[in-house]
C-alpha cells in the first residue's frame, strides 16, 4: 500500500508538489519509488534552468530502467537537492522528505490541474 | 488480444515468494525477489539460484549427428569429449546470428544436447530441421519436458553437495557436465552459467527441478531474478541475444570470432561470410564504454564522436553494481573501436564523455583447473 501525504498536490506522472509561497517543492510519490525499485542515480537540472509544465526536467534511474521526471509546473529552478547526488537511495527511504527540485513558478494557476491526495489515491488504485 | 504467457514449473514458487514478475521471451518470469542489488551481490559474494527453465533443450541424435551439428555450429565439435560443453553460434549464410547456443556432447556417440535461448526455441528448431536435409538425424525439441536451475557463485559447489548430495560437482571443471539420475529422473549437472562466477546449471524433469528448488530455498540459497542475471552477465562481458547478437549482428562484429572455426573441414553455415568479415573487416564493432560521469547509458542511446556526430548505439548499459561505474556495450563504427578512444554517449539531453574499454569489465572466476 503506497503512502500518500495529505496537503500535497500530485501529478498523473507521480510527482508531488508542496506549495511554499511562489515556490513549488517537487518530489516523487511513494508509489513511483516503489515501482522503480532501488534508485541508483537522480538526473537533475541546474539552478537557473527553466522547466516547463508537462516536460521532463530529469530522470530517476534504477538498476533496470530510467524513468523521466515531468515538471508539474513551469518556472525557474531555484534549488536542487544535492544530497541525492551521493545518496539517491534517500528517495526510496522517504520520497516525501527527500524533495528533488524547487521551482519559482511562472503561473500558480497551473497548480489547478494537479490532483489532491484523495484524487491521487483514486488515480493509483485504478 | 495479448498472447497467453507461458509459465515455468517454478511459477507458483515465484508468486508465493512475492517476486516482481514480468514477461520475458513469452514467459511470465521473476525479475527480482529481494532486490536486484541484493541478489547480484549474493551471487558475487556467496551463491544465488535462478529459475532458467524457460531456456530451450533440443536433442540431436542419429548416424549423422556429429556432421550435422558441426555444419550448423560455428565452433568445432571435432574431438569434443563426452561430458563437455562448447559455446558458439548458429549463423545465417550472410553471417548474421540465428542464436548463440551451448552444445553438450552426451556420453553416447552421435548424441548432442543443444541449449538455446528461450526467445529463439521455435526459430532454432525450425532452422535445424530446415537445414537437416541430407543428414540422417533425429531432432527433438524437448524444452517443455525439462526444467532448469542455475546455482551461481563461489559457494555453489558446497551448496549442491551439502543440500542436494550432488557429489559429481567436485569432479567437474568449467564447461564439463555429468549425466546422472535423481528421483528416477535424468539429471544433467553442468559447470556452466551466465554470471562470470563459478557455478552450475541443473537440468531435469519439472518435478525434480521443483523439489530441488524447494530444498535449496529451505537451505537458505537466495532466489535471484532475471534482473540481476542481466547485470551479472553484463559486467563479465557476456552477450545477450537480441542486444549484442542478432540477425544483423555477427559474431565478428560482437568480438566473438574466437568461437567461430571456419577453417574446420566443411566449414559451417555462414563460414564464408565470417572469413570475409575477418579478412575485409566490418563496419561496426561491439565495444565496452566507461563514462566519466554517473549518468547511466541505456540500450538505444546514441554514441557520438567528439564533434557530436552519431557513430554508434548503446546495446546494454548499467551503473555497474560490482564496480560502481557507468558502463555499457555499444556498437560503434570501427574507426572508434580501439581501446582508449574518446567518444560521447547521449543520455537524454546531455552528451557525456566516455572511453573505449575492454568489454569484460569484471574479472570472471571460473574453475578451469
Burial B339-364 (b: 16+ CB within 10 A, else e): eebebbbbbeeebbebebbebebbee
Task: Name, in order, each residue with C-beta under 8 angstroms of B299's C-beta and a sequence gap of 6 or more.
Answer: B243, B314, B315, B316, B317
**Quick one: cell of B135?**
543428414
> In this complex, how many residue pairs, one in chain A and one in chain B, have their CB atoms less than 8 Å apart?
37
Structure confidence at residue A65 (pLDDT): 87
Structure confidence at residue A37 (pLDDT): 86
- Tracing cell 534504477 back to the chain, one arrives at A62
Residues on chain B touching A71 (C-beta within 8 angstroms): none
**Polymer length in residues for chain A:** 126
Q: What is the pLDDT of residues B283-321, one digit of tens each?
A: 999 999 999 998 999 999 999 999 999 999 999 999 999
Of A41, A43, A63, which is closest to B37 when you measure between CB atoms?
Answer: A63
Distance CA B368, CA B364 (A): 11
Residues B152 and B195: beta-carbon distance below 8 Å: yes
CA dihedral (B213, B216, B218, B219) in degrees, to 10, reads: 180
Which residues does residue A51 pair with via DSSP β-bridges, in sequence order? A75
Tell me the nearest-neighbour CA distance from B348 into chain A, angstroms. 8
> Are residues A41 and B294, on separate chains, in Cβ contact within 8 Å?
yes
Of A37, A41, A56, which is closest to B35 when you measure between CB atoms?
Answer: A37
**A19-39 average pLDDT score:** 95
* Enclosing H/E stretch for B189: strand B185-190
Q: Is A40 on the interface with B (CB under 8 A)?
A: yes
Residue ranges of chain B whose pLDDT lies below 50? 1
Distance CA B283, CA B313 (A): 13
Structure confidence at residue B287 (pLDDT): 98
For B85-134, the three-class secondary structure string (H helix, E strand, C coil) is: EEEEEEECCCCCEEEEEEEEECCCCCEEEEEECHHHHHHHHHHHHHCCCC
> Are residues A41 and B296, on separate chains, in Cβ contact within 8 Å?
yes
Q: Where are the domains of chain B?
A: 11-52+146-235, 56-142, 283-357
Homologous superfamily of the B56-142 domain (CATH): Aminomethyltransferase beta-barrel domains (3.30.70.1400)
> Are residues B319 and A68, on separate chains, in Cβ contact within 8 Å?
no
**A84-89 average pLDDT score:** 94
Structure confidence at residue B1 (pLDDT): 43
Residues on chain B touching A66 (C-beta within 8 angstroms): 296, 298
Environment class of A56 (CB within 10 Å of its CB; exposed 0-12, middle 13-18, buried 19+)? middle
* pLDDT of A124 higher than 60: yes
**Polymer length in residues for chain B:** 369
Residues A81 and A69: beta-carbon distance below 8 Å: no
Q: For residue B98, which of B269, B213, B215, B260 has the smallest C-alpha distance?
A: B269
Which CATH number, 2.40.30.110, 3.40.50.740, 3.40.50.300, 3.40.50.720, labels domain B283-357?
A: 2.40.30.110
Structure confidence at residue B2 (pLDDT): 55
Sort strands B199-204 and A75-80 into parallel, antiparallel or unpaired.
Answer: unpaired
Q: What is the ipTM of this complex?
A: 0.80
Structure confidence at residue A1 (pLDDT): 73
**A47-76 average pLDDT score:** 95
Structure confidence at residue B115 (pLDDT): 98
**Vertex B76 angle, CA B315 and B316, to 5°:** 10
Give me Rg for the CA atoms of chain A: 13
Measured in whole angstroms, how far is the alpha carbon of residue B288 from the centre of its chain?
A: 18
Residues B289 and B343: beta-carbon distance below 8 Å: yes
* Enclosing H/E stretch for A80: strand A75-80
The yes-or-no answer to whether B11-52+146-235 and B283-357 have a common fold is no
**Quick one: cell of B261?**
572455426
Q: For residue B364, which of B127, B188, B202, B192 has the smallest C-alpha distance?
A: B192
Q: Is A121 on the interface with B (CB under 8 A)?
A: no
Mutate to test the interface with B, among A64, A68, A84 (most CBs of B within 10 A): A64
Task: Name, in order, each residue with C-beta under 8 angstroms of B218's C-beta and a sequence gap of 6 or more.
Answer: none
* pLDDT of A88 higher than 80: yes
**A120-124 average pLDDT score:** 96
Residues on chain B touching A56 (C-beta within 8 angstroms): 348
CATH fold label, B11-52+146-235: Gyrase A; domain 2 (3.30.1360)
**A2-13 average pLDDT score:** 96
All structural domains of chain A, each given as residue ranges with its CATH number in brackets, are: 9-107 (2.40.50.100)
Amino acid at each position: 500500500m503506497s503512502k500518500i501525504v495529505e496537503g500535497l498536490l500530485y501529478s498523473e506522472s507521480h510527482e508531488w508538489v508542496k506549495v511554499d509561497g511562489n515556490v513549488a517543492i517537487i518530489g516523487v510519490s511513494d508509489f513511483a519509488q516503489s515501482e522503480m525499485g532501488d534508485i541508483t542515480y537522480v538526473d537533475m537540472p541546474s539552478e537557473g534552468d527553466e522547466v516547463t509544465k508537462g516536460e521532463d526536467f530529469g530522470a530517476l534511474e534504477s538498476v533496470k530502467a530510467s524513468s523521466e521526471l515531468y515538471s508539474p509546473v513551469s518556472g525557474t529552478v531555484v534549488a536542487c537537492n544535492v544530497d541525492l547526488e551521493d545518496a539517491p537511495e534517500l528517495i526510496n527511504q522517504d520520497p516525501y522528505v527527500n524533495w528533488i527540485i524547487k521551482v519559482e513558478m511562472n503561473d500558480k494557476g497551473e497548480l489547478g490541474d494537479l490532483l489532491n491526495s484523495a484524487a491521487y489515491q483514486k488515480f493509483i488504485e485504478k | 488480444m495479448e498472447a497467453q504467457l507461458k509459465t515455468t514449473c517454478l511459477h507458483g514458487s515465484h508468486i508465493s515468494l512475492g517476486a516482481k514478475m514480468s514477461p520475458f521471451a513469452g514467459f511470465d518470469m521473476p525479475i527480482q525477489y529481494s532486490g536486484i542489488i541484493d541478489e547480484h551481490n549474493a551471487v558475487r559474494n556467496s551463491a544465488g539460484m535462478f529459475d532458467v527453465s524457460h531456456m530451450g533443450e533440443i536433442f540431436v541424435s542419429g548416424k549423422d549427428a556429429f556432421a550435422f551439428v558441426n555444419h550448423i555450429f560455428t565452433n568445432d565439435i571435432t574431438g569434443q569429449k563426452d561430458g563437455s560443453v562448447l559455446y558458439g553460434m548458429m549463423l545465417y549464410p550472410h553471417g548474421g546470428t540465428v542464436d548463440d547456443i551451448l552444445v553438450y556432447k552426451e556420453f553416447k556417440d552421435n548424441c548432442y544436447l543443444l541449449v538455446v535461448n528461450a526467445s529463439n526455441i521455435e526459430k532454432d528448431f525450425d532452422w535445424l530441421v530446415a537445414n537437416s536435409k541430407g543428414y540422417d538425424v533425429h531432432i527433438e525439441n524437448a524444452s517443455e519436458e525439462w526444467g532448469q536451475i542455475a546455482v551461481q557463485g563461489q559457494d555453489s559447489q558446497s551448496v549442491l553437495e551439502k543440500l542436494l548430495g550432488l557429489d559429481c560437482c567436485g569432479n567437474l571443471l568449467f564447461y564439463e557436465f555429468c549425466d546422472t539420475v535423481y528421483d528416477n529422473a535424468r539429471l544433467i549437472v553442468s559447470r556452466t552459467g551466465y554470471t562470470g562466477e563459478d557455478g552450475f546449471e541443473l537440468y531435469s524433469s519439472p518435478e525434480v527441478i521443483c523439489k530441488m528448488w524447494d530444498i535449496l530455498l529451505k537451505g537458505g540459497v537466495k532466489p535471484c531474478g532475471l534482473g540481476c542475471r542481466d547485470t551479472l552477465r553484463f559486467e563479465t562481458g557476456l552477450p545477450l541475444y537480441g542486444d549484442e547478437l542478432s540477425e544483423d549482428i555477427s559474431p565478428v562484429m560482437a568480438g566473438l570470432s574466437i568461437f567461430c572455426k571456419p577453417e574446420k573441414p566443411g566449414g559451417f553455415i555462414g563460414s564464408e561470410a565470417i572469413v570475409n568479415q575477418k579478412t575485409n573487416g566490418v563496419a561496426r564493432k561491439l565495444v565496452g564504454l566507461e563514462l566519466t560521469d554517473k549518468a547511466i547509458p541505456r540500450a538505444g542511446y546514441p554514441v557520438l564522436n567528439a564533434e557530436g556526430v552519431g557513430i554508434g548505439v548503446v546495446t546494454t548499459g548499467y551503473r555497474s553494481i560490482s564496480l560502481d561505474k557507468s558502463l555499457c556495450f555499444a556498437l560503434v563504427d570501427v574507426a572508434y573501436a580501439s581501446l582508449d578512444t574518446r567518444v560521447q554517449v547521449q543520455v537524454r539531453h546531455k552528451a557525456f564523455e566516455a572511453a573505449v574499454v575492454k568489454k569484460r569489465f569484471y574479472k570472471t572466476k571460473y574453475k578451469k583447473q
